[in-house]
Amino acid sequence: DLLAPPVAAALAEWPVDAPVDVDEVLVAPIDAELADTAAFCAAYDVGLDVSANCVVVAGKREGVVRYAACIILATTRADVNGVARRALDVRKASFAPMADAVELTGMEYGGITPIGLPAAWPILVDSRVIATPHVIIGSGVRHSKIALPGPALGALPNARVVEDLARPA
């Protein structure tokens, strides 16, 4: 019950040839009221520089909505209308509406994570995240967090490491 169903399913199918063993992906319970990054970091004495956020962005092209996940450190802000927009190949990108993100991912708002996202979604990982030895990310639910090596996020299906996906906050 510490993982959303899509996250648990993705971890159950973790590739044996992945650069990080699934045993290095750890989950721990937290107070659900402290799931938001700033509150979590303050309460659990975790640095923002080792906390990664998963931001769902959307844009339209030829009437079709395209989605992507941007994985960025909490010390940064995603370049949604620059780098992310170009990666989606749309004229304008914005944060996906909360209801859409929750419905399409099968995860709770405030807990959305890159592990277990819809298979067609590109996962854009800021290079700063990959350079971080261990990061804390969501688990798909608000009452737990995942800790894993930063480089593991660049090895997820459909992941692409992107320079300057984010800017300092």
Q: What is the 3-state secondary structure (H, E, C) of 38-80?
A: HHHHHHHCCCHHHEEEEEEEEEEECCEEEEEEEEEECCEEECH
- On whether the CB atoms of residues 126 and 166 are closer than 8 A, the answer is yes
What are the tens digits of pLDDT across the range 12-36? 999 888 889 999 999 999 999 999 9
What's the pTM value of the predicted model, to 2 decimals? 0.95
- On whether the CB atoms of residues 143 and 31 are closer than 8 A, the answer is yes
Cα separation, 136 vs 51, whole angstroms:
5
Three-state secondary-structure class, residue 10: helix
**What's the Cα-to-Cα distance from 107 to each of 20, 42, 61, 163, rounded to whole Å?**
23, 24, 25, 27
Cα separation, 89 vs 60, whole angstroms:
9
What are the tens digits of pLDDT across the range 60-110? 999 999 999 999 999 999 999 999 999 999 999 999 999 999 999 999 999
